[in-house]
A and B are shown apart, each in its own frame.
Chain A
Amino acid sequence: MRDWDGAEMLTQPRMAVENLRIGRNGSTLLDVPYLALGGPGPTLILGPNGAGKSLLLRCMHGLIQPDGGTVWQDGALLGEDHRARQAMVFQTPVLLRRSVAANLDFVLRRQGVRWGSRKARIAALLDEGGLAGKERQAARSLSGGEAQRLAILRALACNPEILFLDEPTSALDPAATQAVEALILRASARGTRIVMVTHDVGQARRLGHDIVLMQAGRVAEHSQAADFFAAPRTAAGRAYLSGALVI
C-alpha cells in the first residue's frame, strides 16, 4: 500500500478503498487500486462529467456493492455501524414530501433527540442555512438552491463523522455558496471528515486540503491541494486545470 503522503499514512486513514472495481457491459466505470482519505482537512474530488465521482462516493457510503474490492473505515470493513456515522448530500437532493422543518425533524427524531431540543435545533439549523421563516413550507416547493441547502442542513443534523457532499453548491448563488462553504469549514473544524465533489476549481482551492482528480473511473492524481494547484504532478492534472480534460 502506497499513497501520496507518507507522513499521513502513518496514522490510520478514516476512509480507504482497495482494488475497487465496478464494470457494466464490458466497460469499466470504476477502477481504484488504492485510495486513502485521512488528512486533517476536506478532500475535494474533481474530474470531468462521467468520471465516476458519484459512484466512488456511493461505494464509500455503502450504497452500492462494488463488483470487487473493499471499503475501509477506521481500519475496519465498512459496516452498518460505520454507515450510521456517515451522511451524504446527493447530487440531486431528495427531500421528503413534508414541511421544511419536518425534513430536519425526521433525522433528529431518529437520533432520539427530545421534542423540546429538536425545535431549538431545527430553528438553529435553518438559521445557519438561511432558511429561517420557511419551516412550515412544503420542502418540495423550495427553489433548487433552497432545496440543496436544506439537504445539506439535514446531513449536518446527523452529526456525521464523515460527510459526503456531491456537488452541494451546484445550484447556489454566490452568497449562498459562501454561506455553505463556511458551514462546511465549520463542520470540518469540529472534526467531521469532509469528502466533497465539485466542478468549481476555485471552491476546491478554497476548501481543499487534498485533491483527488478522477478520470475515466480512475484516480488520475491525489495530491495536497497546495501542490496540485501550484503544479500538478500528472499530465491529466495539468490538462484538467487548463480546461482540456474530458472523460
Chain B
Amino acid sequence: MQGFAEEFRVAMGLIVSGDPELWAIVLLSLKVSLLAVLIAACIGMPIGAALAVGRFPGRRLVIVLLNALMGLPPVVVGLLVYLMLSRSGPLGVLQLLYTPTAMIIAQVLLVTPIIAALTRQTVETLDIEYTEQLRSLGVSRLASVPVLLWDGRLALLTALLAGFGRAIAEVGAVIVVGGNINHVTRVMTTTIALETSKGNLALALALGAILVGIAFVVTALVSMIGISREREVLHHA
C-alpha cells in the first residue's frame, strides 16, 4: 500500500511539474484523435446525411451494416490497417506503419461508422418532422440537407464528442499499427498499457488520471448538450 501511495505522489508530481515526456504523449494523443475525428466527420456526415434523405435500393442494408460497423472490435480494425500498410500490403510503399498517420487511419476507420450512423439517425428524425414544411417553403431535397444538418447541430456535436471519446480511449487498434515508439507514436492508452507491464506505475497513473479527466470533460459536454436539447423539447410540449 505504501508503494502505491508513493507512485501516486510521483504521478501527480509529473502532471503538476509539466513533465515534458508526459505532456508530449498527451499532446500526440489529442492531435491524433482530434485529427481522426475531423477526418471521420468529413467522411461520416455526408454519408449519414445521404442515407437519411436519399432513397436508393440497398439503403436499409447499408444502414444495418453501418450500425454493425459501430461495434467493430478495435483490434480487428488495427489488424486490417496493419495488413494494408505492411511492407507487403497494397499500401506498403507509403511506409506508414508505426507512424502517427497509421494511428489516425485506424481511428478514422473506428470513428467514421459512429459519426455516420448517428448523423443518419439525427438527420432522418429531423427530416420526418421538417419534410412537408421545407417542401412547402420550396426547399428542394438536396437543399434541405444543410438545413437539417444545421438544425441538428447539437445532436451532431454529441456524435462528434462520442467519436472523440472512442478514439482517445481506444488502445487495441493504435497499438497494432503504431506500436509505442518513444517520441514518435507514444499515445496515452498504449503508454499506460506498456508502462504498467514494465512496472513504471507512476507514468501510467499520471496518464490514466489525465485520460479520465478528458473522458469526464467529454461526458460532461455531452450531457450538457443533452440538457439544453431537452429543455427546448420540454418547452415545446
Binding site for B on A (CB under 8 A): 58, 61, 63, 80, 83-84, 86-88, 90, 94, 96-98, 106-107, 110, 138, 140-142, 147, 158
Give residues of chain B (95-147) contacting chain A, Cβ–Cβ below 8 Å.
Answer: 129-130, 132-133, 135-139, 147
Task: Provide the residues of chain B in CB contact with A96, threshold 8 Å.
Answer: 130, 147, 151
Pairwise interchain contact B133-A94, C-beta atoms closer than 8 A: yes
The verdict on B93 contacting chain A, using a C-beta distance below 8 Å, is no
Task: Provide the residues of chain A in CB contact with B232, threshold 8 Å.
Answer: 97, 138, 140-141
Pairwise interchain contact A90-B138, C-beta atoms closer than 8 A: no
Cβ 8 A contact of B236, one of A84, A98, A141 = A141
Chain B residues within 8 Å of chain A by Cβ, number: 17
The verdict on B233 contacting chain A, using a C-beta distance below 8 Å, is yes
Give bound CA distance, A147 to B235, whole Å. 11
Nearest to B154 among chain A residues (CB) is A97
Task: Provide the residues of chain B in CB contact with A142, threshold 8 Å.
Answer: 235
Total A-B Cβ pairs within 8 A = 44
Q: Known interface pairs A138-B232, A140-B236. Does A98 touch B151 (Cβ–Cβ under 8 Å)?
A: yes
Give bound CA distance, A181 to B235, whole Å. 26
The 10 closest A-B pairs by CB, nearest first: A94-B133, A141-B235, A97-B151, A140-B232, A140-B236, A88-B136, A84-B138, A63-B132, A96-B151, A138-B232
Give bound CA distance, A166 to B135, whole Å. 16
Task: Provide the residues of chain B in CB contact with A158, threshold 8 Å.
Answer: 137
Task: Provide the residues of chain B in CB contact with A141, threshold 8 Å.
Answer: 231-232, 235-236
Task: Provide the residues of chain B in CB contact with A106, threshold 8 Å.
Answer: 137
Nearest to A147 among chain B residues (CB) is B236
Nearest to B236 among chain A residues (CB) is A140
Give bound CA distance, A88 to B236, whole Å. 21
Q: Known interface pairs A94-B129, A96-B151, A98-B151. Does A63 touch B135 (Cβ–Cβ under 8 Å)?
A: yes
Pairwise interchain contact A63-B136, C-beta atoms closer than 8 A: yes
What are some 15 contacts across the A-B interface (CB < 8 A)? A58-B132, A61-B136, A63-B132, A63-B136, A87-B137, A88-B136, A90-B133, A90-B136, A94-B129, A97-B151, A97-B152, A140-B235, A141-B236, A142-B235, A158-B137
Task: Provide the residues of chain A in CB contact with B137, threshold 8 Å.
Answer: 87, 106-107, 110, 158
Task: Provide the residues of chain A in CB contact with B132, threshold 8 Å.
Answer: 58, 63, 90, 94
Chain B residues touching A, majority SS: helix
Nearest to B147 among chain A residues (CB) is A96
Cβ 8 A contact of A110, one of B130, B138, B151, B233 = B138
Give residues of chain B (20-41) contacting chain A, Cβ–Cβ below 8 Å.
Answer: none
Q: Known interface pairs A140-B232, A140-B235, A141-B235. Does A94 touch B130 (Cβ–Cβ under 8 Å)?
A: yes
Give bound CA distance, A147 to B133, whole Å. 14
Nearest to B152 among chain A residues (CB) is A97
Task: Provide the residues of chain B in CB contact with A110, threshold 8 Å.
Answer: 137-139
Pairwise interchain contact A87-B136, C-beta atoms closer than 8 A: yes
Give min CB distance, B205 to chain A, whole Å. Answer: 44
- The CB with the most chain A CB atoms within 10 A, among B129, B133, B136, B147, is that of B136
Give bound CA distance, A96 to B148, whole Å. 9
Pairwise interchain contact A83-B129, C-beta atoms closer than 8 A: no
Give min CB distance, B140 to chain A, whole Å. Answer: 9
Task: Provide the residues of chain B in CB contact with A88, threshold 8 Å.
Answer: 136
Nearest to A143 among chain B residues (CB) is B235
Task: Provide the residues of chain A in CB contact with B236, threshold 8 Å.
Answer: 140-141, 147
Give min CB distance, A118 to chain B, whole Å. Answer: 16
Give bound CA distance, A80 to B147, whole Å. 20
Give min CB distance, B223 to chain A, whole Å. Answer: 19
Nearest to A158 among chain B residues (CB) is B137
Task: Provide the residues of chain A in CB contact with B133, threshold 8 Å.
Answer: 90, 94
Give bound CA distance, A96 to B149, whole Å. 12
Nearest to B233 among chain A residues (CB) is A140
Task: Provide the residues of chain B in CB contact with A97, threshold 8 Å.
Answer: 151-152, 232
